[in-house]
Structure 1
Amino acid sequence: MVTRIGHVTFRVPDLDAAVDFQRDVLGLVETERVNNVSYLTCNDRHHELVLVQDPVRRGYDHVGLQVADAAALETAKRRVTDAGGRVLGDVFDGGPGLDRALLVEGPEGHVFKLFCGMETVAPPPPGDRPLKFEHVSLKVRNTRRLERFLSAGLGFRFSDRMGFLASWWHCDPDHHGMAVVWAPKAELSHYAYTLADLNAMGRTADRLKLHRDRKLIFGPSRHGPGNNQFAYFNDDDGAMVELCSDLAQMEPAGSYQPRKWPIDPGTINQWGGPPPLKFLLAGCPIAPRG
C-alpha cells in the first residue's frame, strides 16, 4: 500500500535554530512556513522534513508515508486496525503540500501520517545537499508486533533481519525505508538522508565541524544489511541523523537477496569495530499527542 517514504516531523523548542541546522549542515531549504511550522526539502518535493515550534511537547511527532491515492487511505482504515493499529480520526485535508491524509497509530505509540498528492516545487538552487529523505529506524519493545503492523497494515516487505535485535523493510526499490530495532522503550532511533556518495558524506561532516564544532558519532563505514555506506551524528535537538550512500536496491531494480544476519558487530560495521555506546543508546522520544 505505501509507495514511498515521505517525511518525518519533529516538535522542537526553537524553530529558527532547528531550521538553521538543517540548512547549514545538510543544505535543506525551507519551502513554506505556516503558523510556526516549517516545511523543508532537498529536491522538488514540497517537503521531506517538518519542524514544529513546540517548547512543551518536544520529540518526534510522526513519520509521513505516501500512498497512491485517496482510495488507498480508505483501505488503510481497515488494514491498520486488523494489523493491530489504531485509526486517529478520519481522512482530512493533508495540509501544505499534500492533498489528503490519514493519521494512524502503530504498536507502542508510533504515529504514521499516510498521505497522497505530494506537491512539487521548483528545485532548490545548486548546492551540496542530500538527494532525498530515505528512511527511519524505530525502537520498540515488541518487534514482532510492529513488523506485523508494517507488513499487514501498511504493505511493507521484508528485506533483512539480524536475530531478534533488528529487521529492515522496504516499500519501493530501496533496501529499506523502515528499520525496526528492539529496545527497552519506544523511540525514534534515527532518521536518514540519501547522499550521492562517500565524498558528499564527508563534505557534510566538514560542515558539521565548521558550523557546529561537532564530530560524527559513528562512521563512516558500511553496513551489512542494505550494504550502504553510513555516518551518524546528532542534530541540534538531539535526534540522530544518518547519512547514507550506495544503498542496495531490491528486485526488480536490483539483485539483492533478503537474508538473515548474525548478531555480530561485523553485521553493522563492515569496516571497523563494534558500534559505540552513544550510537546504541540514541533515541528521540515520541512527542505526546495533543
Structure 2
Amino acid sequence: MITTRMGHVGLRVPDLDAAVAFQCDVIGMVETARVGGAAYLTCNDRHHELILIADPVRRGYDHIGLEVAGPAALDAARRRVPAAGGTLLGDVYDGEPGIDRALLVRGPEGHVFKLFCGMERGVRLPDGDRPLKFEHVSVKVRRMRRFERFLEHGLGFRFSDRIAPIASWWHCDADHHGMAVVRSPTAELSHYAYAWPDLNALGRVADRLKAERGRTPLWGPSRHGPGNNLFLYHRDHDGALVEHCAELQRMPPHGDYVPRRWPLLPDQINQWGGPPPLRFVWAGHPIAPPGTGRPPWAVGGASSRTAEPARHA
C-alpha cells in the first residue's frame, strides 16, 4: 500500500488573484499561504486541499497530490513506480509549504502525481459554507488497462467499479473512489471534486455560482450509479470542470459497498435522468508540461507568508 489519502490538485492559472477569488467566493475555500507564485487553499484544518500556480504560458493542470504514510512509503514508491510503468521526475525533495517532503512521478499516460507526507494540520478557519475536503479526480486516458495497472501496482489503489469499456473507479481509503479513469482519445483532466454533506449544500453552491458569477451548472444535480453519490458540475474560473459530491459510498471495512461491473446504459451514470450532455463528455483540461525535482514555485517552507484566513471567507 502506497497512497493513504487523496491530497489535492494543482492547477496552473494565468490570473492567480482571479482564480483564488473564484474558489473562495463560489466554493468557500480559504487561502492559507501564497509564496513563489503559488496560492495554497483549504476547506478544513489541513494546510491545503488545492494549489493554484501562477503561469501565464502553460495553462492546464499541474499534478494530483496523493498523501502517503511517511518517508518509508516514498522510498517504496521509488521502487514500485518504474516497475508499474511510471517515471520518476527527480528525487525526494523538501521545503514546500505545508508538507514535509514529496516525490513527483509521471504515469504512463502523462498524468503527474505528487506523493507527499507530513501535511501540516491545525488551520483555524472562520465560519463559512465550504466543502468537507478535496475528494477525487477523474482523468482521461488513451489506454485504460495500462493506466489502471499503474494505479494499482505503482500507487496502491484498489478497484471499486467499472462500466466497460469506458470508465472505472478506484479507491485508496474508505471513499468509493479517489480516482476515476475514463477512456478518451486525449490524456487530460476530466474534473476534480469536492465532498459536501448533503444535497442542500450542492444547491447553495449553485446559488453562489449564479449570484457571484452569473453562471449556471453544467450538469446536475443528480445521482450517479457507481458510488451512488449526488453530483453537481460546473467550470471553475479557468475552465476546468469541478464536481461537487455528497453521500459517496464507503468501502469495506468502513462501509458495505460491493464492487461491481455496470452495464453501459444511460441511467447507470445518471439515475435521475438521461445521458450526460455533450459539453460534459467533451470537457477536458490539458496536462501542463512537468519539470523534474522540486518545482520552482514550491519554495518557502515554514517561512512562507500565511494569508489572512478571513480574506475570502
TM over 0.5: yes
Task: Tell me what 1:51 maps to.
Answer: 52
Identify the residue that residue 127 of structure 1 maps to in structure 2. Answer: 128
Aligned to 1:141: 142
Instruction: Verify the 8 A CA contact 1:219 1:230 in the aligned structure 2.
Output: yes
Q: Which amino acid aligns with 1:235?
A: D
Deviation at 1:123, TM superposition (A): 2.6
SS of 1:90's equivalent in the other structure is coil
Distance 1:207 1:193 in 2: 16
Tell me the equivalent position of 1:22: 23
Contact 2:112 2:290 in 1 (8 A): no
- Measured after TM superposition, the shift of residue 215 of structure 1 is 0.7
Amino acid of the structure 1 residue aligned with 2:246: S
Shift of 1:124: 1.2
C-alpha contact 1:36 1:52 (8 A) present in aligned 2: yes
Corresponding residue number in structure 1 for 2:75: 74
Asked if the contact 1:188/1:283 (under 8 Å) is kept, the reply is yes
TM-score normalized with structure 2 length: 0.92
- What percent of counterpart residues are identical? 69
Is 2:102–2:116's contact at 8 Å kept on the other side of the alignment?
yes
Residue in 2 that maps onto 1:216: 217
Tell me by how many angstroms 1:94 deviates. Answer: 5.2
Q: CA deviation at 1:239?
A: 0.2
> Scaled by the length of structure 1, what TM-score is found?
0.99
In structure 1, how many angstroms separate the alpha carbons of the residues matched to 2:26 and 2:90? 37
Task: Using the TM superposition, give the Cα deviation of residue 67 of structure 1 relative to its aligned residue in structure 2, in angstroms.
Answer: 0.3
Equivalent runs, 1:1-290 vs 2, <5 Å: 1-93=2-94, 95-290=96-291
Deviations 1:166-219 (A, max 9, x none): 000000000000000000100000000000100000000000000111111111
**Where in structure 1 are there 5+ consecutive unaligned residues?**
none
Partner letter of residue 131 of structure 2? P
Q: What root-mean-square deviation, in Å, do the aligned CA atoms of Structure 1 and Structure 2 show?
A: 0.7
Distance 1:219 1:153 in 2: 34
- Please list the CA deviations of residues 68-119 of structure 1 after superposition, one character each: whole Å capped at 9, or x if unmatched: 0001001101101000000111111050000010000001210000000000
Output the CA distance in 2 between the equivalents of 1:276 and 1:80.
36
Which residues of structure 2 form unaligned runs of 5+?
292-313
Quote the Cα distance in structure 2 between the aligned partners of 1:10 and 1:33: 14
Q: Deviations over 1:141-190 (max 9, x none)?
A: 00111100000001000000000100000000000000000001000000
Q: Distance in 1 between matches of 2:95 and 2:146?
A: 28
* Structure of higher RCO (CA pairs closer than 8 Å, 6+ residues apart): 2
- Residues in 1 aligned to 2:186 and 2:278: alpha-carbon distance in whole angstroms: 17
In 2, the alpha carbon distance for the partners of 1:34 and 1:180 equals 32
Q: Distance in 1 between matches of 2:37 and 2:84?
A: 35
1:227-246 deviations in Å (ceiling 9; x for gaps): 00000000010000000000
